[in-house]
Amino acid sequence: MFDKPFQLQIVTPARVAYKDTAVSISAPGVRGGFQVLYNHAPFLSALEIGELKVMKKDGSEIRFATGGGFLEVKDNAVVVLADSVENASDIDVERARDAKERAAGRMQSKDASVDVERARLAMLRALNRLKIAGRS
């Protein structure tokens, strides 16, 4: 089932985070998580904040925390257009915790200039990073 590799690229505005073959990728779609294998139909999905799980040909797995984006499948080439990705092993737990505190503070504040929705998203991203970092 995991024998045929496809091309996978994970790109963000700042860098190319992954460019290689892979046999499987799991992603957090807005309508629920999904997995893409070889010969998937052409597909375009928006992604939520969550975890990207890539399995390479040799069976090793790479996990990324992502802040949302899009995933496109076409002719056995998968492109993830992510707002941000961070390799699970590179996540700075201290920083994520700080970000969480900051976001919590902003959500609590009564200041009208604070964008609560943005604070909430920042909170979700920080929690996601913590969760993924905690598992590795």
* Chain contacts with other proteins (rule: CB under 8 A): 9, 11-16, 29-31, 34, 41-46, 69-70, 72, 74, 79, 81, 83-84
Closest CA to 90 of 60, 67, 113, 62: 62
**Minimum distance between the CB of residue 84 and other proteins, rounded to whole angstroms?**
8
**Minimum distance between the CB of residue 74 and other proteins, rounded to whole angstroms?**
6
**Minimum distance between the CB of residue 75 and other proteins, rounded to whole angstroms?**
8
Cβ closer to other proteins: 13 or 59?
13
Closest CA to 130 of 50, 70, 61: 50
Cβ closer to other proteins: 60 or 113?
113
**Pair 8, 18: CB distance under 8 Å:** yes
Cβ closer to other proteins: 61 or 98?
98
- Look up tokens 């915790």; give the residue: 97
Q: What share of the chain is helix, strand, coil (3-state, %, to 5)?
A: 30, 45, 25
